[in-house]
A and B are shown apart, each in its own frame.
Chain A
Amino acid sequence: MESGNIAWVLISAALVLFMTPGLAFFYGGMDRNRNVLNMLMMNFYCVLIIPILWVAVGYSLSQTPFDNDFIGGFDSFFLKDITVAGDGMSLAIVAFLGMFAAITPALISGAVADRMKFSAWAIFVPVWSLLVYVPVFKWVYGGWLADRGSIDFAGGTAIHVNAGIAALAAVMVLGKRKSAPTPPHSMPLVMIGTGILWFGWFGFNAGSALAANGAAAQAFMNTFLAAAAAGLAWILIEWLRDGHPTNLGAASGIVAGLVAITPAAGYVSGPSPIFIGLIAGVICCYAVRLKHKFGYDDALDVVGVHFVGGLVGSLLIGFFANPSFFDGAFMEGIFYGGSAKLLLEQAIANGAAIVWSFVLTYGIMVALKKTIGVRVSEESEAGGLDLAEHGETAYHGAQ
């Protein structure tokens, strides 16, 4: 059995790694053709810097010692005392969690697209990871929020709400793009990215069972159903409201469903993932319009999809959690005979993550703005970040 578990966790880790290029293509296709390489690089950079940071201090600060409520320590500094003894599972888990640490800041890149200086991004990512991701991860997995009774199977609060609200804080400091938004430059790239994300998300959610067991199978099923239901909801709304079911709508719905089921994946069963997907699909389809109303320039809708989707999924656990199905030690949701206590704890957990992430991210961005600056020059913004920041162009010919 141990060999089955470790095999599944290692495969899941590779699946989660694959999500970062998936996200890069999802965002890159939506971006304009002169900035697509900058978008890909912002994402790939996360899988260059974060694994090293994670092994050095991130894992240690986010996990050990396990009894700490707010932040870990340096017990596992550079993986001290983590060996291949026994089944090697502890090492596999460090790798698996490292993939999550890598993709979380990458989510923010979609919001800051088209104008953020790459040098500022290069510093933002590790600093944000240590000051925001690591503590929130600790609170949710083995810290004070977990002790209070809130649950987050694969990172709805710790990853999507956390990165989503950080995206809002980041664009508030960064400011709007100089030129009007353009339609996606390559929808096929967006759809490839979506497919890779969905594929990888099976590792993200079902792998979070950290075992090859029934909870993993149910999380897998939930990941399948919620994404389908949310994609369906989104294109139906578009069809009725705007006249056409669009590929971008299907892709956005799938991702919104995946985000929403992430916190709930190992806690809900039966038709619940379909309801969670439908609800998230409808809400996110309208939430992506909030930026036009409130005037923040979240370029590729990180707030509308990840923050809103993650929050919706996390709060819906308060209704749909079904501990008896999993023989699990968590509270029942309201639809399964529970009180509103779980819903309240979910709200508190997300509230804490939102406040911490927003305030700290805002602070990091202001500090960067006052020192090295966070925006490229107007000339670079007009001519494209691919050439200005990376000395490359994606498409040769007229941009």
Chain B
Amino acid sequence: MKLITAIVKPFKLDDVKDALKAAGVQGITVSEVRGFGRQGGHSETYRGAEYKIDFVPKVRLELVVDDSSVDAVIAAIKASANTGKIGDGKIWVASVDRLVRIRTGEEGPDAI
């Protein structure tokens, strides 16, 4: 089992969600986050004074999938979140040691 985490542009969230559903994903957890990568932040001007906004709003998606689905899920996110402009985000994959469905107590791939 793998944990796939993706950071995407907030306005791309619906497209990514649709693409993941189409790829057969059962569930996603989404959080609003802020951060910076190579895109950096931006500046805002209030009453003529400039303020540097270092952390730009992004959306983080987290989903646990079976090893066999990893490539399809990455492909779906990559295609749907891509705008071709700087700041499109990142996807990373980590191994998951244990997964438990709280309601039934099922464990491992059965709990996905």
Residues of A participating in the B interface, judged by any CB pair closer than 8 Å: 181-184, 238, 241-244, 246, 248-249, 252, 285, 288-289, 292, 301
Contact = CB atoms under 8 A, between A and B. Distances in A.
Contact of B48 (A182, A183, A184, A242): A242
Nearest to A251: B47
For B47, B48, B49, which residue has the most chain A Cβ atoms within 10 angstroms? B47
Nearest to A184: B46
Contacts of A292: 49
A183 B47 contact: no
Interface in B10-61: 44-49, 51, 53
A243 B47 CA distance: 12
Contacts of A285: 48
Contacts of A241: 48
A288 B47 contact: yes
For B45, B48, B49, which residue has the most chain A Cβ atoms within 10 angstroms? B48
23 contacts: A181-B49, A181-B51, A182-B51, A183-B44, A183-B51, A184-B46, A238-B45, A238-B48, A241-B48, A242-B45, A242-B48, A243-B45, A244-B45, A246-B46, A248-B46, A252-B47, A285-B48, A288-B47, A289-B47, A289-B48, A289-B49, A292-B49, A301-B47
Contacts of A252: 47
User: Which 3 pairs of residues, A with B, have the shortest CB-CB distance?
Assistant: A183-B51, A242-B45, A288-B47
Interface residues of B, number: 8
For A183, A241, A285, A292, which residue has the most chain B Cβ atoms within 10 angstroms? A183
A183 B52 CA distance: 9
Contacts of B45: 238, 242-244, 246
Nearest to A247: B46
Contacts of A242: 45, 48
Contacts of A249: 47
A135 B7 CA distance: 62
Nearest to B44: A183
Nearest to A241: B48
A238 B44 CA distance: 12
Nearest to A237: B48
A243 B44 CA distance: 11
A301 B47 CA distance: 9
Contacts of A301: 47
A234 to B, nearest CB: 9
Nearest to A292: B49
Contacts of B47: 248-249, 252, 288-289, 301
A252 B49 CA distance: 14
Contacts of B44: 183
Contacts of A243: 45
Given A243-B45, A301-B47, 4 more contacts: A183-B46, A238-B45, A241-B48, A242-B45
Nearest to A289: B48
B20 to A, nearest CB: 27
A246 B48 CA distance: 10
Contacts of A183: 44, 46, 51, 53
Contacts of B51: 181-183
A292 B48 CA distance: 11
Nearest to A190: B46
B47 to A, nearest CB: 5
A183 B43 CA distance: 10
